[in-house]
Amino acid sequence: MTDTMTEKIVFTRGVPPPEAFPTEELGECLDAAVRGDAATVLQYGQQRGYAPLRRELAEEYGVSEA
């Protein structure tokens, strides 16, 4: 049996490359969230998640936030 695969994607480590993380954008989002509503953002919330974020994501992806 011969290996016909010339390139392999290895999933064993489960560690994405650092450049895969949008750190600049994540930092901007964190800054905006903490400055805008720190008292809520930094506390335990509802199990369903932070309502303003759920609304924003639902709108972005065209789905119901329910």
- The identity of residue 24, as a single letter, is E
13-48 as b/e: b if 16+ CB within 10 A:
eeeeeeeeeeeeeeeeeeeebeeeeeeebeeeeeee
- Residue boundaries of the structural domains of the chain: 21-61
Whether the model pTM is above 0.85: no
pLDDT in tens, 16-65: 888 888 999 999 999 998 999 888 888 887 788 888 889 999 999 999 98
DSSP letter at 53? H
- The identity of residue 59, as a single letter, is E
